[in-house]
Amino acid sequence: MKRPPGLLKKWLSHLIEVPVAHYSTPYNPNLQVVLHRGRYKLLTDGAIYSFGDLYYNYRQAFERLDWQAHTYSSCLVLGLGMASIPDMLVSKFRKDLQFTAVEIDEVIAMMAYHYVLAPKHIAVQVFTTDAVSFLEWHEETYDLICSDVFVGDRIPQELETLEALEAMRDLLNPGGVLLYNRLGRGLEDIDKNLKFRDEVFLKVFPSGGYFDMDGNWMFVSSLDAFHK
């Protein structure tokens, strides 16, 4: 792993994107790490995997979440990326949570540790496996689950099934919340999201729904857990 950029490059990143590293892995042949606005951004073909506290779909969801309605002490992240979700929850929202994460790409997990988690002293237990397999055998339960698994700009089909959503539900503590991120940029995405809502998500989470987050749809297991 390359050394993290110094102060000059961090300052320059507020003017332009500063390249940091490029990697090719069996899961992601074109991974780019850039510094933008002082944050690490992880890019792949057609998608942004991570962007620190400027990962707006989750940032807006966390801003809407009623943190006082439930005692949140643990968080499971499916699809760690460059650790935007743990980073944001600790650095911006000041949440003291025990983090567990699943990341199939070992190189991405190493980048998250090298560039974000270690420098900021954020502890995350990381499982380098696929999310479906993890859901099949894992038994620990959580107050907050964030599903952010993408291959490029698509969610693996096996994570869009009733079985996958039921497995996520079974890992939620009573009163816990699932956030499930999906793209919603065009008519094709919208049609798929509406079908997913009606045929899968609401069958598992009848009190759930979604928020439109600037080109993404954030499905949530309970609308009552969020400020109106």
Q: What is the pLDDT of residues 38-78, one digit of tens each?
A: 888 888 876 788 887 778 899 999 999 999 999 999 999 99
* Closest among 83, 115, 86 to 9, alpha carbons compared: 115
CA pair distance 93, 122, nearest whole angstrom:
14
Residue 2 has pLDDT above 70, yes or no: no
Domains of the chain in start order, with CATH, are: 55-225 (3.40.50.150)
Q: Is the pTM of this model over 0.95?
A: no
pLDDT at residue 228 greater than cutoff 80: no
- Name the residue with higher pLDDT: 99 or 53: 99
Instruction: Give Cα 225 distance to the centre of its chain.
Output: 19
For 53-63, give one letter per residue: b (16+ CB within 10 A) or e.
Answer: bbbebbbbbbe
Q: Does 227 or 50 have the greater pLDDT score? A: 227
Task: Look at residue 188 and tell me whether its pLDDT is greater than 80.
Answer: yes
User: Could you tell me what percent of the chain has a pLDDT over 70?
Assistant: 98
pLDDT value at residue 60: 94
Nearest CA to 78 out of 62, 105, 111, 102 is that of 102
Q: What is the pLDDT of residue 198?
A: 97
- Asked if residues 138 and 171 have their Cβ atoms less than 8 Å apart, the reply is yes
Mean pLDDT for the stretch of residues 128-139: 96
Residue 93 sits at the vertex; the CA angle it makes with 90 and 96, to the nearest 5 degrees, is 45
Nearest residue to 209 (alpha-carbon basis) of 177, 161, 175, 162? 177
Mean pLDDT of the chain: 92
